[in-house]
Structure 1
Amino acid sequence: MPTIVVEVMPKAELLDPQGKAIAGALARTGRGEFGVRQGKRFELTVEGEVTAELLDRVRAIAADILSNSVIEDVVGVHVAQPAPAAQGAEV
C-alpha cells in the first residue's frame, strides 16, 4: 500500500518557538552548531497506484486541511520510499 508524505513547515519569516526550544536544548548539551525549525509530517496511505492526478489531490488537501496557510507552507508532497530491510536499525 503506497504512502504519500506531506511535509509542512512554519513560514520562514515567523518565529518558530518549538524549533527555538530544541536549538536551546542542543546548545545546553554542547551541540549548539545547529539551527532548528520544527514542522509536521503527515503520511497518507492509499490503495492502488499513485498517479500525478492523485498527487495533485493530495497537494490540495495539504493546502486546505493539513496546513494553516497564514503561518505554514507545504514544503513537500512525495511518495515514501520503502524502508530497506533493517539489520542494525538506525534512527
Structure 2
Amino acid sequence: MPVARVVVDVMLKPEILDPQGQAVQRALPRLGFDGIADVRQGKRFELEVEGPVDDAALARIREMAETFLANTVIENYTVKVEAP
C-alpha cells in the first residue's frame, strides 16, 4: 500500500513572545551570522499516512493538529502533503 507524507508545521502566533527564537537571534551575530532581523522557532511533524490522502484523511489530520499537535490558543498550524 502506498505511503504518503503529510507535514504539520506548528508556529507560535505572531503576537506571542518567542524566547527561544529571541535567544537564537541574539546568538547569531556572535557566531558570525549577521543580517538576521528575527527568528521564530516552531515544530514540524511528519506523518506517514497509509492509503490515499483524500479530503477525509486531511480532515482527520487537521483534527489531530487542532486537538493534540498544536496549542491553538498560542500556536497556528499548517497542513500540507509532500510530493512522493
* Pairwise TM-score range, normalised by the shorter structure: 0.7 to 0.9
Q: Give structure 1 stretches of 5+ with no counterpart.
A: 83-91
How high is the TM-score relative to the length of structure 1? 0.81
Q: Number of paired residues?
A: 81
Determine if the alignment matches structure 1 residue 73 to structure 2 residue 70.
no
* Moved segments of 4+, more than 4 Å: none
Q: 1:17 aligns to what?
A: 19
Q: 1:89 aligns to what?
A: none
- The structure in which a higher percent of residues are strand is 2
In the alignment, the residues of structure 2 paired with residue 28 and residue 63 of structure 1 have an alpha-carbon distance, to the nearest angstrom, of 38
In the alignment, the residues of structure 2 paired with residue 39 and residue 30 of structure 1 have an alpha-carbon distance, to the nearest angstrom, of 23
Bigger relative contact order, structure 1 or 2 (CA pairs below 8 A, ≥6 apart): 2
Identity over aligned pairs, percent = 51
Pairwise mapping of residues 1-91 of structure 1 onto structure 2 (< 5 A)?
1-34=3-36, 35-74=38-77, 76-82=78-84
How high is the TM-score relative to the length of structure 2? 0.87
Q: Please, what is the CA RMSD of the aligned residues?
A: 1.2
Question: What per-residue deviation string (whole Å, max 9, x for no partner) do you get for residues 29-88 of structure 1?
Answer: 2323111100000011111111022111111110110011121111x1011234xxxxxx
Q: Give structure 2 stretches of 5+ with no counterpart.
A: none
